[in-house]
Amino acid sequence: MGTTTKDISKKIPVIQRVDPDAERPKSYVIHFKNASNEVWPLWFANRPTERIRPHTEFVTEVTDPKNIYARWATVTYLGNYQFEFEVREGWIEPERDFPVTIFLNEAGAQTEVLNFPIGSVRMPRGIPIHSTCWLFSHVAEYGRYTIKRISKKVPATTHMETSEEYIDENVKLPNFEGYLDHTTIHRKVRKKQIVEDPETEIETVDVVLEEKRSYEELQKLYAMREEIRSKETQARGEQG
């Protein structure tokens, strides 16, 4: 059997050796185990969502090796979108068109969707998705696209604060007989002071692009883009 790991996405290289002539099974049986106390809404691309009750198992079968679950013999839900994956014995990564990127939604919504002008990638939280990326996206230049929780430091700053207060002031005012009397009045004054805000740390959910492609892969990517642009320019010229 394959090994079990809580972070299997990091164990899978972006570009794997594939054998298009290798004999593949006609179907892939997958065991989905809910080891948590939560109901697990298990998402599928072309079928209704399965709601797996706590401490129960759901077994299904897929025929497409490019199905997002096909590579796993067992997927165990631990709760709070944490998973354990058992790699299928003898698994051979199916051949995909270049460029392939691993998409992983670690901290976003239950399901995140990345839309391209052509196509999209749907990312159920916690499940790594291997997919061909749209050629003209900046994401195509990277091997990993991860939605994750990030801690950011906000540097110390200063700002000006204005406050109002009343002070007692002795003044001479004329009385009804025309003489000056000493009296006390309350006068409102404005005060300004510089206040320092200390350094803080905030947590946000953001997209992180990792594993920039090699020089050779980038050159291949740029050449493919240029070839498509040239064909589009030629087609427009012929239409005009």
Cα(62)–Cα(68) distance, rounded to whole angstroms?
Answer: 10
Task: Output the pLDDT for position 179.
Answer: 55
Q: Which of 123-127, 182-186, 230-234 has the lowest mean pLDDT?
A: 182-186
Task: Let me know: does 67 contact 97? Beta carbons within 8 Å.
Answer: no
Residues 161 and 222 grouped into a single domain: no
Task: Let me know: does 38 contact 78? Beta carbons within 8 Å.
Answer: no
Residue 152 domain-assigned (yes or no): no
Cα(106)–Cα(125) distance, rounded to whole angstroms?
Answer: 6
Cα(148)–Cα(206) distance, rounded to whole angstroms?
Answer: 6
Task: Let me know: does 74 contact 59? Beta carbons within 8 Å.
Answer: no
Residues 177 and 223 grouped into a single domain: no
The total domain count for the chain is: 3
Give the range of the structural domain holding residue 33, as residue numbers without chain letter. 1-95
Domain boundary among 52, 80, 95: 95
Residue 126 domain-assigned (yes or no): yes
The answer, as to whether pTM is greater than 0.75, is no
- Host H or E run for residue 219: helix 215-239
Does residue 22 have a pLDDT over 70? Answer: no
Residue 122 domain-assigned (yes or no): yes
Angle at 83 between CA 77 and CA 87, to 5 degrees: 105
Residues 233 and 221 grouped into a single domain: yes
Task: Output the pLDDT for position 150.
Answer: 86
Compute, in degrees rounded to 10, the torsion defined by CA atoms 68, 71, 74, 80.
-40
Residues 31 and 66 grouped into a single domain: yes
